[in-house]
Amino acid sequence: MLNNKVIVVTGGNGLIGKSFVSNISKHGGIAIVADFDHKGQIFSKSVNNSDFFKIDITDTVSVKKCIEYVFNKYGKIDALVNSAYPKNKNFGRSFFDVEYDDLCENINLNLGGYFLTTQIFCKFFKKQGFGNIVNLSSIYGLISPKFEIYENTKMTVAVEYSMIKSALIHFTKYTAKFLKNSNIRINCISPGGIFDNQNELFLKNYNLKCLNKGMLSPDDISGSLIFLLSENSKYINGQNIVVDDGFTL
């Protein structure tokens, strides 16, 4: 389905990123694990048609070097998948405990990093004559948190998370329209909750809000990614695909 498309996946060594990389490979693509963690190199060696580049998505030189490396080796870059999730050590505190400096740093790391990679890759895509970007947002970029499902647990929804993810959806629309007539598509995926050994009470409460399966696995998201990367979606642009088993209804 992907026919040797060369696809850079930022955060490719993460929980969702690994699934993205594996499924790109399974569907005939060449996946570049672009990650800050050197362990991504070990992971990439376990996946057919996969490569690794150590990237800092908040550093202009690093992003440009990633493009240079991939283009020099493969002769093209078909797509960028923005699924990195950089954050500082204080990310995820309860609303009243969030320090202003931490808020600004996390927005800069995550949303700023998505801006930087998108901007630099789009400049390259314009020169190349084609390109495709898929951003990873969240259901909490669409709706306010269902705080009741976190009751009696130590979990919460980070305010930075909701701010960043909602902004990513609009950023997707903005860039897609800005790049009109450039043969570059930009879309977004907003997943529901992804299973990661969360608190059992939380999982029970979360699943009650869904329609069938409940908490999803990374592979449940990957089908939408493969679709957006393929020619089957060539006229889908500036859209946000929600994969949440009905949680947002």
Query: How far is Cα 151 from Cα 122, in angstroms, rounded to an integer?
Result: 43
Sheet of 79-82, strands arranged across: 50-54, 30-35, 6-10, 79-82, 131-136, 184-191, 240-243
CA 122, 32, 237, 110 dihedral sign is negative
What percent of the chain is predicted at pLDDT more than 70? Answer: 100
pLDDT digits (tens, 9 = 90+) for 41-90: 999 999 999 999 999 999 999 999 999 999 999 999 999 999 999 999 99
Q: What is the pLDDT of residue 73?
A: 98
pLDDT digits (tens, 9 = 90+) for 203-235: 999 999 999 999 999 999 999 999 999 999 999
DSSP code at position 248? T
Which entry of 140, 161, 174, 206 is annotated as an active-site residue?
161
Where b means 16+ CB within 10 Å and e means fewer, 193-221 reads bbeeeeeeebbebbbebbeeebbbebebb
Query: How far is Cα 113 from Cα 118, in angstroms, rounded to an integer?
Result: 8
Active site includes 161? Answer: yes
pLDDT digits (tens, 9 = 90+) for 154-176: 999 999 999 999 999 999 999 99
Q: What is the pLDDT of residue 5?
A: 98
Return the bridge partners of 75, or none: none
DSSP code at position 98? -
Q: What is the pLDDT of residue 11?
A: 98
